[in-house]
Amino acid sequence: MPEQFVCKSSEFKNGERQIIRLGEDEVGVFKHEGEYFAYSNYCVHQGGPACEGLTIAKVEEHLRPDKTSMGLSFSEKDMNFVCPWHGYEYDMRTGCHVADKRIRLRKYKVVEKAGDVYVVA
């Protein structure tokens, strides 16, 4: 399988993203907590640039034993990214839409070797 160079791993900081061309496709590559994630930059909703919007911590609701809400907070570890066109929100680790897990972006494998980051087609 062909590999597309993204950048030097030393230049790719946690919380950053790169948008690369992979043949005819655009791919968003994220680095979160030392891990790399790559997805099609084509939103399943209406084709917007899915990987180019906000990155935001997942919102979690905390429930009492009787299932009443204790309020909302931001996750300490889980991140999402949001398509800037219409707000479709995707889980950074899986590429799944946060409200409907059946909807997902195409996921690409990312490899790091010899100090470089590559996306595998």
pTM here is 0.87
Residue 67 has pLDDT above 90, yes or no: yes
Q: Helices marked H in 1-121 — which ranges?
A: none
Using the structure block, give the residue that is written with the tokens 């791919």.
27
Domain that holds residue 38: 3-120
Residue 26 structure tokens: 């655009």
Q: Which residues contact 15 (CB under 8 A, 6 or more apart)?
A: 31, 32, 55
The total number of residues shown for the chain amounts to 121
Q: Which CATH number goes with the domain that contains 16?
A: 2.102.10.10
Number of domains in the chain: 1
Average pLDDT over residues 87-105: 95
User: What whole-number distance in Å separates Cα of residue 14 and Cα of residue 17?
Assistant: 9
Please name the amino acid found at residue 102.
Answer: R
Q: What is the pLDDT of residues 18-62, one digit of tens each?
A: 999 998 899 999 999 999 999 999 999 999 999 999 999 988 888
**C-alpha separations of 110 from 30, 53, 96 in Å:** 10, 21, 17
* DSSP H/E element including 83: none
